[in-house]
Structure 1
Amino acid sequence: MQSNKLRMAIRATAAAAVLGVAGQAGAVSFTAGDYDMAVYGYARLNASYDIDSDQALSTRSGSYAGLAGNDDAAEGHFGADAFQSRIGVKATSPEGVMVNVEGDFRGSGGGSLRLRHAYGSYMGILAGQTWSNFTSFVGNTSTLDFDSLPGNAGLQSRSTQLRYTTGPLSFSLEQPSSSFVNDDPLVTIPEKDSLPALTARLEDSAGGLAYSAAVLAHQVGYDTGDEDESSFGFGTFLSAKMSVTDMITIQGNVSYSDGANSYLYRSGDNFGAASAYVDPASGDVETISGYGATIGTGINLGGGRSINIGYGMVEVDWDDAEDDLGAAVVADESETNSAVMANYKWSPVKNVMMGVEYQFLSRENVDGTDGDASRILFASQYNF
């Protein structure tokens, strides 16, 4: 029974993620002509109180920007918004072709409609924009923070892609993501993407264990017209979730990247750190490595109540860049980001969720400057 419950939960989570309806309790379903239609979404209030420096992004998520050296920052900041609210439409044809389009209101800093998902799928072939194949939610701890823990598996975002899925295996060609450290702010590095990112992922369950593993490879390069240099970067992660009892789960992720820190979640000011730099002596593209991990537990208290506690961290190795570019160039780069998030969630009635969360964020830069902040979040979500 326990194994079946876990399998059903994992399948439901995976399906929700693929369809872009994570967090939905249901949808308004109807038939239009020969098409099966579904309209879904939710309205959500997010509110935050920053006990220390103001670290709130839109959706009131915690930011790592400006966290290091925040000892003298103004304290006590409240804010609230409804930018996480979303709406989506799914249509399935009689031939089995499925199309999904979804948006929320986090665009342009908050308040503008943002495209989240826009893709079609048929017979295991998916084309369009949706969750990167180099992403898994299996090992993630449930948080109220929309951006969640550093060290979660892979990109944790959406990308334009062509994907093929067969059973537990999926492969994709995706729009690549990377950036360079620039040792001269007056000169722009002419980055060039010559190839798509290639990913492969295995996601399955066995007994009381659900697991996911993936690899990604992409090219990181630049072209000045006179010089054309590149290197290959790669990333990998392993995620797992264990059902200890019918009430308790333990889950976590481990990640490693070299030349693919855009896919090392929350390793920079907020999201990915730089993947490479140009050696000023040789002009070669030198990759930057990093790693991350999370661990957490979910406790189902019954009656629609739950407690979730998670810890996550990422660390980037800047030693070679510091030697080649100079200490001043990378001094303000984030070397270590970490967070503890603990929440209480309550569903008083179907399609309604309320919760409160405590966060402790910490950052240390390459030059040793550090800082931390405590935050309290509140959320109220109404699904349809």
Structure 2
Amino acid sequence: MMTKTKTAGAIALSLGLGLASAASHAATIGDTTVKFSGYIKADAIASNYSDGTLPTKNIGRDFYVPSLTPVGGVDEGTQFDSHIRQSRFRFTTTTPTEEGDTIIGVLEFDMMVTPAGDDRISNSFTPRIRHAFVKYKNWTVGQTWSTFMDVRVLPETLDFIGTTDGTIFDRQPLVRYQSGAWEFALENPETTVTPGPNGGRIIADDNPLPDAVVRYTHSADWGHFAVAAQARQLSYDDGAAIDSTEAAYGISLTSKIKLGKHNDIRIAFNTGSGLGRYIALNAANGAVVNLDTNEIEAIDSMGYSIAYRHVWNKKMRSNFTYSAFDADIDTNLLSAASTETTYSVRANLIYQPTAKISVGGEYAFAKRELANGNDGDMNRLQVSLKYAF
């Protein structure tokens, strides 16, 4: 077996994995090239909340989740956390066919959003699958980024996502066909439902039809512009009084505009009826049960974000972001304690002493407001070291 080292930039970019800058290490086994790449990332996070605190193991302590900013509690002082859970590793296989085509397979893991592990002794965490898909000719089959999501407008932030409030963010099983600038996909469905004014969340798992997505991307020397449309059916059957469906839709407009050779602006605007889990990490559910009719009704929501990337010199760069989310909360159907709006701003400075290591600091401010007018905010300072391989 012959081993060799190559860069993964071209393949990672074509697959939309957002890791085009990482190096990879390849081994040829028969006709198949197997590449291994990823990064190790250590994060230290200090968070202060105006109206409460987040308990141990809460996901909002690892990265920013808009709907988890505490409201209505008592400030308990600053919380400090450190973890390596964002570290990830990816295997990419490339196999030529007799017809002159190429089969690409991807399997990628990290340790985020898994229940195992604590801070007492070992800090052990369970790996989870991020991507697992096959790409052949114009087809992509498996689990990867939703076609409704534009990975290229995600900014470089130390936080796991960054512009979380206004961003479409979803990975799921899908079948996608691409023809030039057009993409068409059928994707895994799921409906999140609020069961009336008492709040809560039901993950219905009652969908009979996949979510349908179409995307068009115009690419040019100045950057790109994309528009995506989604149509899906929200469905909830409790096996008793409620057996209801509701049509839902979403529109996403995104663009990355180059400013000179290194700097850029990244813009996103997303809106729809029943967006639910697709936006702001499910800050609002897709539907609510109208207890007068025992029917579900879609919840309207929208979000937007803007990010500016500035390269100071060969070793230093910064990113400045603003992101916001708004849900149409009908207090006749939903609790007045439902999340109505959130927004966050952040700024960072990233220093790269050598090609594969980056060290950075990031400040973030976030605010969450409920339908009853109560609000709370978060101040967070994060420091990270990342080694890409």
With the shorter chain as reference, the TM-score category is: 0.7 to 0.9
Q: Which residue of 2 aligns with 1:30?
A: 27
Q: 1:191 to 1:330 in 2, by over 3 A?
A: farther
CA drift of 1:49 comes to 0.9
SS in 1 for 2:69: coil
Q: 1:261 to 1:205 in 2, by over 3 A?
A: same
CA drift of 1:286 comes to 1.1
Structure 1 spans left out of the alignment, 5+ residues: 1-11
CA drift of 1:223 comes to 2.6
Contact 1:46 1:59 (C-alpha < 8 Å) held by counterparts? no
Query: d(CA) in 2 for partners of 1:348 and 1:113?
Result: 29
Q: 1:103 to 1:187 in 2, by over 3 A?
A: closer
Q: Percent identity?
A: 25
Aligned partner of 2:277 among 234, 255, 262: 262
Q: Which residue of 1 aligns with 2:136?
A: 122
Query: d(CA) in 1 for partners of 2:336 and 2:77?
Result: 26
Q: 1:266 to 1:187 in 2, by over 3 A?
A: closer
Q: 1:279 to 1:221 in 2, by over 3 A?
A: same
Contact 1:316 1:336 (C-alpha < 8 Å) held by counterparts? yes
CA drift of 1:148 comes to 1.6
Aligned partner of 2:179 among 166, 180, 183: 166
Give the TM-score normalised by the residue count of structure 1. Answer: 0.87
Aligned Cα RMSD in Å? 2.5
Within 5 A, what are the aligned runs for 1:275-286?
275-286=286-297
1:175 aligns with 2:188: yes
Aligned partner of 1:16 among 8, 13, 34: 13
1:368 aligns with 2:379: no
SS in 1 for 2:158: coil
CA drift of 1:68 comes to 4.1
CA drift of 1:230 comes to 0.7
Aligned partner of 1:136 among 125, 133, 150: 150
CA drift of 1:367 comes to 1.2
1:9-62 CA-to-partner distances (Å, cap 9, x unmatched) read: xxx699437263626421002211111110111111011011346557378312
Aligned partner of 1:44 among 41, 44, 60: 41
Contact 1:357 1:378 (C-alpha < 8 Å) held by counterparts? yes
Q: Which residue of 2 aligns with 1:220?
A: 234
Q: Which residue of 2 aligns with 1:61?
A: 63
CA drift of 1:92 comes to 1.1
Query: d(CA) in 1 for partners of 2:248 and 2:371?
Result: 22
Q: Which residue of 2 aligns with 1:99?
A: 105
Q: 1:280 to 1:60 in 2, by over 3 A?
A: closer
CA drift of 1:67 comes to 2.4
SS in 1 for 2:161: coil
Judging by fraction of residues, say which structure has more helix: 1
CA drift of 1:307 comes to 0.9
Query: d(CA) in 2 for partners of 1:160 and 1:44?
Result: 27
Contact 1:24 1:41 (C-alpha < 8 Å) held by counterparts? no
1:222-249 CA-to-partner distances (Å, cap 9, x unmatched) read: 2345653211111111011111222431
Q: 1:121 to 1:22 in 2, by over 3 A?
A: same
Query: d(CA) in 2 for partners of 1:124 and 1:260?
Result: 28
SS in 1 for 2:96: coil
1:84 aligns with 2:86: yes
Q: Which moved more, 1:165-174 or 1:142-151?
A: 142-151
Q: Report the AA paired with residue 153 of structure 2.
A: G
Q: Which residue of 1 aligns with 2:245?
A: 230
1:377 aligns with 2:388: no
Q: Report the AA paired with residue 167 of structure 1.
A: G
Q: Which moved more, 1:244-253 or 1:289-298?
A: 244-253
Q: Report the AA paired with residue 359 of structure 2.
A: M
Q: Which residue of 2 aligns with 1:146?
A: 160
CA drift of 1:353 comes to 1.2
Count of matched residue pairs: 363
Query: d(CA) in 2 for partners of 1:294 and 1:255?
Result: 9
Contact 1:259 1:287 (C-alpha < 8 Å) held by counterparts? yes
Q: 1:144 to 1:341 in 2, by over 3 A?
A: same
Within 5 A, what are the aligned runs for 1:293-304?
293-304=304-315
Q: Report the AA paired with residue 73 of structure 1.
A: D
Give the TM-score normalised by the residue count of structure 2. Answer: 0.86
1:252-304 CA-to-partner distances (Å, cap 9, x unmatched) read: 11010201221122451xxxx21111222222221110111111211011222
Q: Which residue of 1 aligns with 2:325?
A: 314
Query: d(CA) in 2 for partners of 1:19 and 1:211?
Result: 15
CA drift of 1:116 comes to 0.6
1:295-345 CA-to-partner distances (Å, cap 9, x unmatched) read: 1211011222101100000000012xx22x3xxx52221101110010001
Query: d(CA) in 1 for partners of 2:300 and 2:201?
Result: 24
Q: Which residue of 1 aligns with 2:263?
A: 248
SS in 2 for 1:127: strand
1:359 aligns with 2:364: yes
